[in-house]
Structure 1
């Protein structure tokens, strides 16, 4: 069942983007936080190992994305991870994966607020309290998230998605003294170039989070497509609450590397790798040994599930220890 229903005469139409507009949004979101942490990671492990890891994980992510697409084609009613959980495990699966996806998005929103604070600290040379910059990031992101569709955002994403990539040309990569988020270690054209993209990518994740809650509340009702005060007020209230929660997380874990590592360990490990393995195993239940090809794919997807589980377990340990051991930054502090 289509969560958005028939939109022929709707006031608010959600299904308005072309495939390439959706692709641009995905690129803008994907190349944001990850690419800002890349120089520091490469500097830490070395160029050669980093290239091998990037290629390996990239190929694996390409395959897992294909599997997720297969799952969507087989179960067209699936619009989010909560729906996928319901297909596989009923109401319990829906709630577990729904909560996990929501937390994932809110933590990403928090990372964008934190990165925005770091960027303004760098650009203004610590012009005011870091908490103030965080509040500014909250307000700007909240306002930009208010539209209920993403069609217009795709055009802005086209420009902004190039920011982090271009910044690497002027910033450099894999330097011994690199820290994250690059390029916000010095006030440079690179830092100014990528600042708008931080907001846009965060807004994309925020919009998806808003819509998950909004659809969950109003799916199947005429509120989905109306612009009355209940619909608009609910959308605004949902957005404000989620961005405030994200701001609290950003202030509670004010170190970019630590927060990003925690997000990857808790959520990205499963949404990128682990769950894809489960999807394949579910779709092919009872067919694992029907042919040599199925057997090979079964082994591959079990390994992918193992990779996701390992990234989660080891990542939680490392990020938790880093947060515990870090004494250089205090929660809810004006210090840069």
Structure 2
């Protein structure tokens, strides 16, 4: 419904009939997922583009950064840096395609909605389910990061499952706000925390280099070992699955690319600098996360500072999973914008279920890190890379009304979009093959533990031969 006919007199419209933001209201396009929120008790479209950029940085620049130095140790410093920079540029391109699709289809709130437009009801169910599953796995990954941080700080005085449970409590609490603007303010200190933690890690590595280390500029590997390591930078940018949800709560969705440029510029620069510095001073044997290769006191300092980022990133992921289902249930109903008992009870239950599922998966599956890799291969390969190509192909064919002529008029974009789709398919297949083989190898070696086993990790050792 075009909101132009139900607005107040002080609203302004552009030449396309799109309701523009004034001091009190957000931009509302026809068919906007949240519609005109004037007069509603709960308003979602409140985010500015700088706050969206902060949210994007919080959810992406976390575990990805800490695992990148190990990729350099596996494939070599030069290939690792080239891959980080290339994927940063590639991620910017796919973000552009995603943003343009969202602007062309303001009714899209998540990947499921996009799937419905392109592939019908089956596409909606597959992409929506994939978004929820990947968000739950991502929440579990942040639980593991928090578990590791708490274990490091306490010298593993408790069993790891208890640390995971302890960390799950604040993540769940921070997931409860119904609108992302509440989480956006928490994301500001979370962003600073991962930035400062990275700087502390670099200082710790610089003053405590590993004696006799080897730093390989290039390094040959088997396909499985190479891709298992290359998956770190590939999935370090795997946050695009949240972009539709973030953009939907912007006051002006047309500013979304500004946030994406800030994210990709910050992430690519920080990833490259951190990966080079850590690999250079800690050598080819650098651990993942790389902070574990530091002396104990530097480990503790960096992990303590990084905890706010792990916490809010996990909350964003579980919030995303709950929000997708909540919108599916209550879109265009009074429960979406009003303080109803049904609305709040449903929202609270969804948040609890998503966080509980993440906790059970994280502590109940001994090969959970490999399953995160499988989930990323199945979903992030498409959400961050491959499916963006289909967005352009669809809109240039249908939205323009030109059919194949729309493709022929922009041959470079056509080729890039097809290659983007092929790249997503390659990452998906190669990732699945790699992580399945790694799971088999782990079971064959007898290193896989039992589910829900409460065991303690060894205390942090790091580079014990160096000073500091």
Q: TM-score, normalised by structure 1?
A: 0.93
Residues 52/321 of structure 1: CA separation in 2 closer, same or farther (3 Å cut): same
User: 1:273 and 1:51 mapped to 2: Cα distance?
Assistant: 19
1:40 to 70, 73, 76: 70
Q: Are 1:246 and 2:366 an aligned pair?
A: no
CA drift at 1:217: 0.8
Q: Hey, what does 2:106 align to over in structure 1?
A: 76
Structure 1 residue 268: Cα displacement? 1.2
Larger Rg: 2
1:67–1:289 distance in 2 versus 1, CA, 3 Å: closer
Q: Which moved more, 1:258-267 or 1:313-322?
A: 258-267
Q: What's 2:301 paired with?
A: 189
Matched, 1:218 2:330: yes
Aligned-partner Cα distance in 2 for 1:252–1:26:
29
Partner of 2:381: 269
Q: Distance in 1 between matches of 2:331 and 2:179?
A: 16
* 2:201 corresponds to which of 168, 171, 177: 171
- Cross-structure match for 1:21: 51
Q: Are the aligned partners of 2:151 and 2:157 in contact in 1 as well (CA < 8 Å)?
A: yes
Distance 1:328 1:155 in 2: 42
Any stretches of 5+ residues in structure 1 without a counterpart?
none
- Summarize deviations over 1:13-72 as a string: whole Å, max 9, x none: 111221211111111111022112112222222211111111111111111111111111
2:405 aligned to which of 264, 283, 287:
287
Task: List 4+ stretches of structure 1 deviating above 6 A.
Answer: none
Aligned counterparts of 1:184 and 1:152: Cα–Cα separation in 2: 33
Q: Is 1:138 matched up with 2:168?
A: yes
- Residue 302 (structure 1) aligned with residue 418 (structure 2): yes
> What is the deviation of 1:167?
2.4
CA RMSD of aligned residues (A): 1.9
Alignment correspondent of 1:314: 430
> More displaced, 171-180 or 194-203?
171-180
User: Distance between the aligned counterparts of 1:132 and 1:283, measured in 2?
Assistant: 49
In 2, distance between residues paired with 1:156 and 1:72?
26
Structure 2: tracts of 5 or more residues without a match:
1-30, 203-277, 398-403, 458-468
Q: The residue matched to 1:235 in structure 2 has which SS?
A: helix
Separation of aligned partners in 2, 1:243 and 1:204: 11
Kindly state the Cα deviation for residue 214 of structure 1 after the two structures are TM-superposed.
0.7
Inter-CA distance 214–104: structure 2 relative to 1 (3 Å threshold): same
Report the counterpart of residue 253 of structure 2 in structure 1. Answer: none
1:332 aligns with 2:444: no
1:91 alignment counterpart: 121
Equivalent residues of 1:180, 1:256 under 8 A apart: no
Counterpart Cα distance in 1 of 2:188 and 2:383: 25
**Aligned residue among 147, 150, 158 for 1:117:** 147
Partners of 1:157 and 1:46 in 2: how far apart? Answer: 33
Query: Given the superposition, is the C-alpha separation of residues 164 and 183 from structure 1 closer, same or farther in structure 2, using an over 3 Å criterion?
Result: farther
Query: 1-side partners of 2:407 and 2:304: how far apart?
Result: 55
Q: State how many pairs are aligned.
A: 334
1:170 CA displacement: 2.8
- Quick check: 1:100–1:267 contact (8 Å CA) kept in 2? yes
Q: Could you tell me which of 49, 52, 58 is aligned with 2:82?
A: 52
